Amino acid sequence: MNAMQPIVTPTPWGTHWDFPGDTAVSPAEERRRHLLSCYRDHLSTALDHETASYTISVSEGSETLAVELFDITSNEIVVVCPAHSRGDDIAYAIGALLDLVRFFTPAPNKLLVATGEPYEDTRQLLASCDITVCWPTDDGSFRRGALTPPEPGA
């Protein structure tokens, strides 16, 4: 039996947020969506980058993955995490980035947008996965953290 090849389809912005019967959105999800919109606006307005959203059909049936924000100009998949320290949200975001990147050629860079400046341990974790991190600043822009993995045994 032949396995279905994944299909990556451009999707209109915000489509991934529309769920039938989804009447109550958690405060964390509202913050995540707001941060994603702010970062998208930053890319297109401040940096003049072209962005897109995609749906990836992984297998026959209904299994799909969402790429809510892709920076075409920088060839970068963007995932927003509603936290900035170690925990389930960071682990989920890392897993999502590692999963999504494999469907694109050439392999895109990986960016995690956090709610605030991550602790050093979190930045080292992300760097060890080749994931760049950025967070909003007080002036409405975004700052990128250094991508320097820790020395082995340090």
Integer Cα distance of 124 and 51 in angstroms:
27
pLDDT beyond 70 at 84: no
Distance CA 36, CA 99 (A): 19
**3-class state of residue 95 by DSSP:** helix
pLDDT of residue 1: 40
Per-residue confidence (pLDDT) for residue 13, from 0 to 100: 59
HEC sequence for 101-123: HCCCCCCCEEEEECCCCCCHHHH
Give yes or no for residue 62 having a pLDDT over 90: no
Residue 27 has pLDDT above 70, yes or no: yes
Selected residue with higher pLDDT from 8 and 10? 8
4, pLDDT greater than 60 = no
Structural domains in the chain, CATH included, are 27-144 (3.40.1350)
Which is more confidently placed, 123 or 18?
A: 123
Three-state SS annotation for 26-74? CHHHHHHHHHHHHHHHHHHHHCCCCEEEEEEECCCCCCEEEEEEEECCC
* Amino acid code (one letter) for 96: A
What is the rounded average pLDDT of the residues 22-45?
Answer: 85
Residues 126, 112: Cα–Cα separation, whole Å: 8
How large is the average pLDDT for residues 46-70?
86
Query: How would you classify the pairing of strands 109-113 and 76-80?
Result: parallel
The predicted structure's pLDDT at residue 101? 94
What's the rounded mean pLDDT across residues 17-31? Answer: 67
